[in-house]
Structure 1
Amino acid sequence: MQDRAAEATHLMAAMAGGDRQALSRLIVLYGPGLQRYAAQMLPRPDEAEDVAQEVFLRAWRHAGRYDPARAAVSTWLYRIATNLCIDRSRRTGFRRFLGLEAAPEAPTDTPGPHRQLEGRQRLAATRAALRQLPPRQRQALVLRAAGELSTAEIAATLGVTPGAAEQLLVRGRAALRLMLEPDHGDDDD
């Protein structure tokens, strides 16, 4: 993790100098995680790629303003992604409220072998449970899972203390377990 953070800081400095190769490398380092994060945070997961692209476009434009003393590159990028996701969610909700946009349809996967079907059902249940969590708990869990951020990076991204970030993770995991395994608590009988 340290090597990745040091490389990312170096890449930001190179980008500030106009190095496009540095941007390409930064995309390789953080693009997949940012896209997974956005897919979980947006009402329409198909917009995740657009959000990830916008994150890197903003990073390119504002690379000179990045201050490594204030935040890790990962924290800075995920904060941009979080803000973009919030903005898109608000716009989508407002457009839907006005009737300008139809509600997204549930994905229809063609059933495959039994295990694939079970996996898809489990994934769908997990996504549905995630969407029921309070927004901060959901953000913390998705930053950990999709973004592979540490508790300190999650805290910085969400603007909370590391202790508060840890509590968001603990409470979010506990709530997910209750939603996904409701019989789990009855084993004590």
Structure 2
Amino acid sequence: MARIAAGSQRSLAELIARHGRGLQSFAARYLGNSSDAEDVVQDVFVTAWKNASRYDPQKARVSTWLYKIAANRCIDQRRRRFLRNFIGLDDLESDPASEAPDAEARVSDRQELSIVRDGIAALPQRQRMALLLKVVADLDVPAIAEVMGTSIGSAEQLLVRARRGLRDHVAASDGRERNV
């Protein structure tokens, strides 16, 4: 980060190469929209570039610092999207499906994935954030606590509750499908 603070574009490129894909995956899963996720990730790296001199390696690892920036930007993006939708500036998001002609087996997989995505989306914001930081960003509990600005015990509880909520959602969806 010191080299980035000194203006090294090569070091910034290395940072992007090392963390860009993980941040993109995290943001896309949190936001549910890859276009918004790209905007968030670009903003994360612009912020990292501008604030590299403020990074303190004694407080957090670089990855934890970046995910904290990403988490905050994702929350901001969801708020903006809510406000745009609330006042009618956005149409429904489109997620065009590209089905192959013989994709009957893939339909079941997509339905299961949809149930899991819906379950994650239904979680309270902090539980969803903790779960995605664990599963997508592969952060450990202390890093999740750091990113979320909470204690390790609270982060553990958020993960327990998120897993329970997701499990209950999937079980309820499975029961509805069987009763149909």
Give the TM-score normalised by structure 2.
Answer: 0.88
Match of 2:112, as an amino acid?
A: R
Q: Which residue of 2 aligns with 1:60?
A: 49
Q: Which residue of 1 aligns with 2:164?
A: 174
What is the CA–CA distance in structure 1 between the aligned matches of 2:20 and 2:123, rounded to whole Å?
25
User: Percent identity, aligned pairs only?
Assistant: 44
What is the CA–CA distance in structure 2 between the aligned matches of 1:127 and 1:109, rounded to whole Å?
18
> Structure 2 matches for 1:68-107, cutoff 5 A?
68-107=57-96
Contact 1:16-1:60 within 8 A present in 2 as well: yes
- 1:123 and 2:131 equivalent? no
Q: Which residue of 2 aligns with 1:3?
A: none
What is the CA–CA distance in structure 2 between the aligned matches of 1:131 and 1:23, rounded to whole Å?
32
What is the CA–CA distance in structure 1 between the aligned matches of 2:67 and 2:51, rounded to whole Å?
15
Q: Which residue of 2 aligns with 1:146?
A: 136
Contact 1:43-1:89 within 8 A present in 2 as well: no
Match of 1:97, as an amino acid?
A: F
What is the CA–CA distance in structure 2 between the aligned matches of 1:93 and 1:167, rounded to whole Å?
27
Q: Which residue of 1 aligns with 2:178?
A: none
Match of 1:113, as an amino acid?
A: A
- 1:28 and 2:55 equivalent? no
What is the CA–CA distance in structure 1 between the aligned matches of 2:168 and 2:110, rounded to whole Å?
20
Q: Which structure 1 segments of 5+ residues have no match?
A: 1-11, 185-189
Give the TM-score normalised by structure 1.
Answer: 0.84
Q: How far is the alpha carbon of 1:114 from its aligned partner?
A: 3.8
What is the CA–CA distance in structure 1 between the aligned matches of 2:145 and 2:61, rounded to whole Å?
11
Q: Which structure 2 segments of 5+ residues have no match?
A: 176-180
Q: How far is the alpha carbon of 1:107 from its aligned partner?
A: 4.0
1:93–1:43 distance in 2 versus 1, CA, 3 Å: farther
* Number of equivalenced pairs: 173
Q: Which residue of 2 aligns with 1:50?
A: 39
Q: How far is the alpha carbon of 1:103 from its aligned partner?
A: 2.2
Contact 1:95-1:101 within 8 A present in 2 as well: yes
Cα RMSD of the aligned pairs, angstroms, is: 1.7
